[in-house]
Amino acid sequence: MAAHPTDAAWRPEGLDPIVRVVEAFRALDPDLPIQYALSFLTIAQNEGLSIRDLSERLGIAQSSASRNVAALSKWHSFGKAGHDLVQAEEDPRERRRKVITLTPQGRDLARRLTDLLAPPESQAPLRRTA
C-alpha cells in the first residue's frame, strides 16, 4: 500500500511545543478543562474583551464564558480559590460591562507559554569567542 503524499512531511516532534503548552496548563491544575485553557489564551490575545465578546469568540454561552472567567479569576464560585490569571473589572465607560484583563500571574503564564512555542531558531544564538 502506497504512503499518503503528506505522510513524508509529517513529523511527530512537531507536536512537542503543543505538548509542552498542555503540560504547563496541567502543572497549573491537573484537572483544568480545555475550555478554561482556551478562554485564557483568547483573553491573553485580546485583553479588554467583555464576557459577551469572549462567549462570541469561543462560540459558547455567556454563562459558560462567565464561569470560565470566574475559574480563571482569584475566586471561583462558592468561595473556592481560582487560578488568579485574569480579572474582570467594570468598564468605566459602560458600567454594566466588565472588561477582562490578565493579572501579573496571567501575564507571566502567557510569557512562559509563548516561550514554549518559540522555534529554536528564534532564540538568541550563542556568541562564539575567538
Query: What local confidence, expressed as pLDDT, does residue 70 receive?
Result: 94
Domain count, the chain: 1
**Domain range for 83:** 29-114
What pLDDT was estimated at residue 130?
A: 46
Residue 122 lies in a domain: no
CA 32 remoteness from chain centre: 12
For 14-39, write each residue's pLDDT tens digit: 888 899 999 999 999 999 999 999 99
Spans of the chain below 50 pLDDT: 125-130
Domain at 78, CATH number? 1.10.10.10
Per-residue model confidence as pLDDT tens digits over 36-52: 999 999 999 999 999 99
Question: Is 22 within the bounds of a domain?
Answer: no
Listed as own residue / partner, the contacts of 109-116 with beta carbons closer than 8 Å and 24 or more positions apart are 109/24, 109/28, 109/40, 109/85, 110/44, 112/24, 113/21, 113/24, 113/41, 113/44, 116/17, 116/20, 116/21, 116/24
